[in-house]
Amino acid sequence: MSEALTGWVNALGRLPAALADALRRVGNRAALSLQQQRLADFAMASGDWLWETDESGRLVWLSSADQSRAGVSAPWVLGQTMDDERILDAAGEPVVPPQSLQQLLQRRGPFERVITLCDTPRGRLYVSHSAVCRYESDRWCGYRGTARNVSSAVLGQRERQAAASVLHKLAGQIPGLLFQFRMHADGRIELPYASERIREIFEFDPEDVVRDASGVIDRVHPEDTPRVLAAIAQSASDMTVWQQTFRVVLPVRGERMLSGRSKPERLDDGSVLWHGVITDVTQQMHEAQRVRALARERDAANRAAALRSEIMSRVSHELRTPLNAILGFAQLIERNRGDDAPASAVTSAMQIQRAGKHLLSLINDMLDLASLEAKGFDGGLRPLRIAPLVERCVALMAPHAQLQQVSLSMVLAASLPAVSADLRALKQVLFNLIGNAIKFSSAGSMVEIEVGMDDDPEWVIVAVLDHGPGIPADRLPSLFQPFTRLINKGVRKEGTGLGLAISQRLAHAMGGRIDVGSQLGEGSVFTLRLRTSSEAAQPTGETAFDELDAAPTRPRLAGTVLYIEDEPINALLMQQFCAAFPGLHLTVATSGGEGLRVARELAPDLVLLDMNLPDMDGHQVLQALRADAATAGIAVVALSADALEDHARAARDAGFDDYWTKPIDFALVEQGLADRLGRGRS
């Protein structure tokens, strides 16, 4: 066979293989084309863009370059590089440190989910990029990647972060821990959310308890742990609100008291999620304990003060009963003495009165102090002009000063404002301060009273200065304590030791105070400070201060008086007093029942009624008198050894026409009878 023929034969032999190889290449190209088409269809169906760059970063292929097929154009153009946008985080904020897309591409390494903000035909969109490197013969040739519109996800993340920020700010303003507590079906516990307060409440960082909250339970006080866990189990069982107050033991702050409340929610996986708040109530609990302790102390003090007041009232009543006879008969001796009465008898009567009045003063001071301690000050503050009151006090104290051979000096500042005070209390304080200054001044010295403004314009001061022996410094702190009395050169001055204590309490009750300064051998100054009032001063009306004027002419009394009194000596005393008035007829009844009968038969002009009778008290007698038409219009005056002001007020409120205290002051009795039975004066 020739060589040509042989060549043709060989060629024909290779032809099937060549044809097969060609067919394989055609099939591969068709399969590749089909694969590419499928990938492009998948990309368009998923909403992603597929892209490819060369080694220079220019786009050489885009899956959605044909807008008619894709429905939307890609945000880039073939043959150009991608826009150099800043890389953003999941919330659309620039990453730190700042980085751009082109900087990332120039690194020639794979990346995923890199977000940028791109300009597209639909506006600016948040786009997420992912890419792998493309190699040919081990040579880097560019990127193949995807891009997806993640605008909805970014905006959603922004909204979630904004909501979280608002929650964080609100939680920071709440004085407690906001939390979510989750208990899984297998018993695991966690705190999916805990506000920053957890660092203070439980001394944990929020991230430390997100997956495991067992450490929080471990810090509950061992004695309280069973109760807290039982309450959690009960809440999970019946879906009721969990509410507990319990103790925790913290590494730094030690034992604290917490109070928590949360509402449970059962989730689809069988776990229970509580939403609630826990606050530190340690200070409130301590404060509540302190308030309860103070309340107990206050109640105990009030009970003790009330008991002292009651005891003082009873003691006063028992002391006043015999004192009524002593002072009463001494007054009658002095009132009825004739010109030929022995001087010794007159002197004895005066000494009896003097000693009795001193004892009565002590009783009255003790009652005043007991009343202030038990009930406090019950006066009414109002704007008063201070200057006329001081002038009146000084004028009334002048005779007493003359007897002690002491002169009084008074200086009043001009244009003084009104002070906020109670008239009766202020008079009592002024009398006490001026009287003490006179008492402790030596003969021939002067007591100075100055009224003016304090350095602070909110205060008016009344300073009472004496030139006596002074007060030792160690005695000053106790000067305003009850029964504190001073001794000068071994001579004890007459007094109860209660005046300054009462005066200081009255000053405090009026919103002021009394200060004292003293120098041994030079004298002392007591300064009353009273708050000024912006209101106009009110008229004080009658400002007489129980002054001891000369006895007025005796009134002419006429009428019938019924005296209901079970104590014979008191009845005898009143009979002897009334005997001095020929027109006055006194009838005595010794019990309440007898008094009611005599009142109906006699129809007296006036009934004098003792408040403590053997068969009924004075209020019951008064009620019976008012209930009977025959006696309802008779004037009734209460007589009692009980000198407490609230008892006297209660008697007047109950319907008594007046209230006279024992020991009887016959000058006041005479005036009271004259007001009701008087017919001029003789």
Distance CA 9, CA 11 (A): 5
User: What integer pLDDT is reported at residue 635 of this predicted model?
Assistant: 93
Q: Using 50, 70 and 90 to split pLDDT, how confident is the model at 479?
A: confident
User: ∠601-328-581 over CA atoms, to 5°?
Assistant: 50
Which range, of 90-99, 213-222, 332-341, averages the lowest pLDDT? Answer: 332-341
Q: How many helices (H) and strands (E) does the chain have?
A: 17, 26
pLDDT at site 132? 94
Non-local CB neighbours of 473 within 8 Å, separated by 6+ positions: 518
Phi, then psi, of 141 in degrees rounded to 5:
-120, -5
> H-type helices in 47-117, by residue range?
67-70, 101-105
| The pLDDT of residue 180 is above 80 | yes
What is the percent of the chain where pLDDT is above 70? Answer: 74
Mean pLDDT lowest for which of 168-177, 369-378, 528-537, 640-649?
A: 369-378
Taking residues 614-631, what's their average pLDDT?
93
**What residue ranges do the domains of the chain occupy?**
47-156, 174-280, 378-531, 555-681
- Put residue 541 in one of left, alpha, beta given phi > 0 → left and psi -120 to 50 → alpha: left
pLDDT, greater one: 363 or 146: 146
- 636 pLDDT exceeds 90? yes
* pLDDT value at residue 470: 85
What are the tokens at 544?
A: 């007489």
At position 365, the amino acid (one-letter code) is: D
Which one is predicted more confidently, 266 or 502? 266
Buried b (16+ CB within 10 A) or exposed e, 78-100: eeeebeebebbebbbeeeeeeee
Q: Could you report the per-residue pLDDT of 446-467, keeping only the tens digit for each?
A: 999 999 998 888 999 999 999 8
Tell me the per-residue pLDDT of 502-534, one tens digit each, with 9 for 90 and over. 788 888 888 899 999 888 888 899 999 999 987
Q: Which fold has domain 47-156?
A: Beta-Lactamase (3.30.450)
pLDDT of 116-148, one tens digit each? 998 877 788 899 999 999 998 889 999 999 998
The reported pLDDT for the residue numbered 26 is 57
In this predicted model, which residue has the larger pLDDT, 553 or 406? Answer: 406
Same fold, 378-531 and 555-681: no
Q: What is the CATH number of domain 378-531?
A: 3.30.565.10
Question: Is it the case that residue 345 has pLDDT exceeding 70?
Answer: no
Segment 101-119 mean pLDDT: 91
Please state the φ and ψ torsions of residue 10, each to the nearest 5 degrees: -65, -40
Peptide bond into 399 cis (omega under 30): no
Amino acid code (one letter) for 500: L
d(CA 42, CA 38): 6
Decide which of 287 and 333 is more confident.
Answer: 287
Q: What is the mean pLDDT of residues 302-317?
A: 69
Q: What is the mean pLDDT of residues 10-26?
A: 63
pLDDT at 90: 87
d(CA 616, CA 215): 75
> Per the CATH hierarchy, to which homologous superfamily does domain 174-280 belong?
PAS domain (3.30.450.20)
CB 117 within 8 Å of CB 98? no
Give strand ranges (E) for 590-633: 606-610
In sequence order, the 6+-apart residues with CB closer than 8 A to the CB of 343 are: none
CA distances from 471 to 437, 501, 515 (A): 12, 16, 13
The pLDDT of 77-104, averaged and rounded, is 90
Helix residue ranges per DSSP H, 47-138: 67-70, 101-105
Q: Compute the Cα dihedral for 580, 586, 591, 596 and give only its sign.
A: negative
Q: What is the pLDDT at residue 289?
A: 87
What is the residue whose two structure tokens read 């899984």?
184
Residue 384: what are its φ and ψ, rounded to 5°?
A: -130, 150
SS3 content of the chain, % helix, strand, coil (to 5): 45, 25, 30
Q: What is the number of other CB atoms lying within 10 angstroms of the CB of residue 653?
A: 8
Residue 342 or residue 177, greater confidence:
177
DSSP-derived letter for residue 58 is B
pLDDT of residue 552: 46
pLDDT of residue 110: 94
pLDDT the model gives residue 364: 65
Supply the pLDDT for residue 12. Answer: 57
DSSP code of 220?
Answer: B
Q: Which residue would you say has higher pLDDT here, 443 or 65?
A: 443
**What are the beta bridge partners of residue 3?**
none
pLDDT in tens, 541-572: 444 344 333 334 567 788 899 999 988 888 88
Point out the least confidently predicted range of 54-63, 309-318, 511-520, 650-659.
Answer: 309-318
Average pLDDT over residues 362-367: 61
* Rounded Cα gap, residues 65 and 147, in angstroms: 13
Q: How many whole angstroms separate alpha carbon 627 and alpha carbon 365?
A: 38
Question: Taking the domain 555-681, which CATH number applies?
Answer: 3.40.50.2300
The answer to whether the CB of 204 falls within 8 A of the CB of 212 is: no
Q: Which residue has the higher pLDDT, 262 or 22?
A: 262
Mean pLDDT of 356-380: 60
Q: Taking 60 as the threshold, does the pLDDT of residue 357 lie above it?
A: yes
pLDDT over 70 at 376, yes or no: no
Helix extents (H) in 385-440:
386-403, 423-439
Mean pLDDT comparison of 34-38, 252-256, 328-332, highest-scoring range: 252-256
C-alpha–C-alpha distance, residues 61 and 670, integer Å: 129
Q: Is the pLDDT of residue 72 over 60?
A: no
